[in-house]
């Protein structure tokens, strides 16, 4: 339970009291609870959508859901996404890309990528117009917070130090695969075939993405872990959508 609360207070802005005297080992091993935190986020979004869908048109509901997710998470993964896109879209050398990703300033590439990502996510959320299709809201945050761990466990870390390095060293295949079986089962339970398709395509997308970037940079970074979460959320919505109606 302590590990789950550590993960919850790190990944969300929900008003839970932060555990005291958290060791670095406890913090890094809390990654195992990330899909559970995603499930909590998904259930909140689903309940919000179920409550509001009778009263608001799709475009307004889509904007509310997007804003709600940003408030729940504090946009923690968008920061990594923007830093990653600033570097990866710069067409520079691997060393320069890593330096750009460390720069806290927001560049043009990050801005363009952010607009594209949020616009696509907003339109997909606004298109969930039936109560049955809302089930993907439960799957999306949970699946993304599991599948991004492919990058942590399957590829080297590109820097000598950093927050993500501790997570990379803490991850293990057996817990990852066992938790993945649970995530797959929950995805099917709530979203049926759409959940299974989102599960499979998300794994493929993040595996290919991580492999290509790792080959370019010699490894991955914490910013890229956040980018994988954001990308996999959109991929989940995109590939599941045709099977939800």
8 A C-beta contact, residue 75 and residue 41? no
Cα 22-28-34 angle, rounded to 5 deg: 105
User: What is the model's pTM?
Assistant: 0.93
In the chain, where the domains are located: 38-243
d(CA 80, CA 64): 23
Distance of CA 239 to the CA centre of its chain: 16
Alpha-carbon distance of 144 to 121, in angstroms, equals 14
- Contact at 8 Å (CB) between 139 and 37? no
- Is 123 within 8 Å of 63 (Cβ atoms)? no
Distance CA 68, CA 83 (A): 23
Q: How many CB atoms lie within 10 A of CB 82?
A: 24
pLDDT tens per residue across all 245 residues of the chain? 788 888 899 999 988 877 887 788 888 888 899 999 999 999 999 999 999 999 999 999 999 999 999 999 998 899 889 989 988 888 788 888 888 888 777 888 889 999 999 999 999 999 998 888 999 999 999 999 999 999 999 999 887 776 777 777 788 899 999 999 999 999 999 999 999 999 999 999 999 999 999 999 989 988 899 999 999 999 999 999 999 86
CB 143 within 8 A of CB 202: yes
């Amino acid at each position: 339970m302590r590990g789950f609360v550590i993960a919850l207070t790190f990944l969300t802005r929900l008003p839970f009291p932060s555990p005291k005297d958290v060791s670095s080992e406890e913090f890094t091993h809390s990654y195992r609870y990330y899909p559970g935190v995603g499930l909590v986020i998904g259930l909140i979004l689903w309940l919000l959508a179920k409550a509001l869908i009778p009263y608001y048109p799709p475009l307004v509901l889509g904007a509310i859901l997007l804003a709600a997710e940003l408030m729940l998470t504090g946009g923690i993964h968008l920061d990594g996404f923007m830093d990653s896109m600033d570097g990866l879209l710069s067409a520079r050398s691997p060393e320069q890309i890593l330096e750009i990703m460390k720069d806290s300033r927001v560049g043009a590439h990050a801005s363009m990528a952010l607009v594209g990502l949020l616009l696509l996510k907003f339109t997909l959320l606004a298109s969930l117009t039936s109560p049955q299709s809302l089930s993907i809201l439960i799957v999306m945050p949970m699946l993304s917070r599991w599948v991004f761990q492919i990058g942590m466990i399957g590829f080297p870390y590109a820097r000598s130090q950093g927050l993500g390095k501790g997570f990379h060293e803490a991850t293990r295949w057996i817990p990852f695969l066992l938790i993945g079986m649970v995530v797959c089962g929950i995805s099917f339970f709530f979203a049926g075939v759409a959940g299974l398709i989102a599960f499979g395509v998300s794994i493929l997308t993040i595996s290919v993405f991580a492999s290509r970037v790792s080959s370019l940079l010699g490894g991955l970074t914490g910013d890229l872990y956040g980018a994988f979460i954001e990308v996999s959320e959109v991929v989940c919505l995109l590939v599941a959508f045709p099977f939800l109606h």
